[in-house]
A and B are shown apart, each in its own frame.
Chain A
Amino acid sequence: MNENSRSGEGTDMDVQQAAAIIEESGERARRALYVRRPVLFGIWGLAFLVCYGACWLSVLGQRPYTGPTPAALLTLTIVVAAAYAATVVLVGRAGMGVGGRSALQRRIMLMAYFCAYVGLFVLEAALDHAGASRAVLGVYGAAAPLLLAGVVAAAASALALDWWLFGLGIWLLVLAAGSGWAGPVNVWAVDALAVSLALLALAAIGFRRSRA
């Protein structure tokens, strides 16, 4: 396609061509300017499985319960950092050059999420300081991040008007409230499976819909 035909000025365009351009340009813009959610769901689904799975394996059979081992916590830190870096790259690439209300909303949401996450750790330290047992801290450490992630997902779904994301948020809230009943050891296994399967299922559904 030469430059003149690409510019389109002075060329005849029939209605079929116009319809094809609308379809093709819209699809190309959505691919370029929006984060591919299925990829993010896949990344975080695997990250959850590895992190919570490693913590569960490290506390399995502990008598008395002492909490995840340093090796499991190191694995968790590395995997979460890698997943976060991948998320930053994907979100940054899609948001490059996009300004205005959405970019501001994204920044506010990230700041709120970061503050809340720091708050979780400060509260855990306060519980430890107040004499909470290792078992209580174990249940809190596994379930509380899900409570936060669930609230964030449900709130973000309202901005994006996305019922799938709302469903994920509610699922995370249900897990956060319910998985603690499995005890400080099995809470890790329940959350590892229930969260990662939900995220990987959403990734698979998203990929299938994008190919349809």
Chain B
Amino acid sequence: MNFVALRMLTGDRAKYFGLVFAIAFCTFLLENQTTIFANIMKRTASQILDVTDAEVWVMDPQTEYWEQTKALKDTDLTRVRGVPGVRWAVRLFKGNPVARTLDGKFAVSFLIGIDDATLAGAPRKMLLGSWSRLREPDSVIIDQAGYILLFPGEPLALDRTLEMNDHRVTIVGISDAAAPFASLPVMHTRYSQAINYLGRERTQLSFIIARPQAGVSAAELTSRIQERTSLRARTTQEFMWDCIRYYLQHTGIPVNFGITIAVALVVGTVVAGQTFYLFTIENLKQFGALKAIGVTNLRLIGMILLQAFTAGTLGFSLGTGMAATFFEIFLHKLATRGIVLMWECVALTAACIFFVVVVASILSIRRVLVLEPAAVFRG
């Protein structure tokens, strides 16, 4: 009877497309909103994730997230290096100087100062130039978005000059750094230079980044560092989630997005669920005739489930395709760069759609099961 079920589903094209598009639209809305939300949250930890050399981050116990740091003492670096299991540990500076072009255009920037000797923490995805040129005096690497912000409409070029805190710096590379939460230029330079590009403070060490020795896990090393130095040590993933959690707890973003996602969920599921339920109700007479003819309840349940999961699968696939196309188009826009359809969001949406399909099926099945086949005689 599977073919009968599928023909009943597709027989009325208007209803069929209405049902599939309702589910597709619901899928698109959910995947779109959850993905944008998740990617924006992930942006709060972009600069942490960009540092691929290190697995462990050490910071002052008061430091809660990337943006808000309390400087460490220089001696803390030595203490961390003395913890068993540390393969290497180096300094990392983070500040927000104002970068100014020669024609007067300026922007507050994220400046990351990396270890002078090892250049650990340097951006690895370069669009132009080489990170090894950071060894040159007064050199910086700027991200592509920052370059376009400071030099709008101009082609990417090296050896251009910026001014930071009365220091003249030269762009020696253009990186493909992940987009930060705020749309500011991201610049990398050596630690010793970075501290000169900001107003001098007594202590400047923002973070210590480290890597465990072979056989020691990052989690294990963070425990050891915390135990022996009383400093806060987090793995890269833990620190990323610290940042995300901070924004979730201290900003209105989750509430605003939550409302949008909730509306998308309610509207999408109600529309999709209701459409399928109505589809079954409109076909009750046909189900009644089949029941009278001698089609068993079990077979009718199978037919309804087949219809529901066919429409659900088609709608979900179509909606996911729409969402993927949407993000592919906007992936290359500066403001939305790096925002990609996340598999977690697809899985979450799939679970929601599955839930809707199951609930709508149960309601529909119930109507068909309680339907008296004798009703078909009533015209």
Whether A and B are associated in the same complex: the answer reads: no
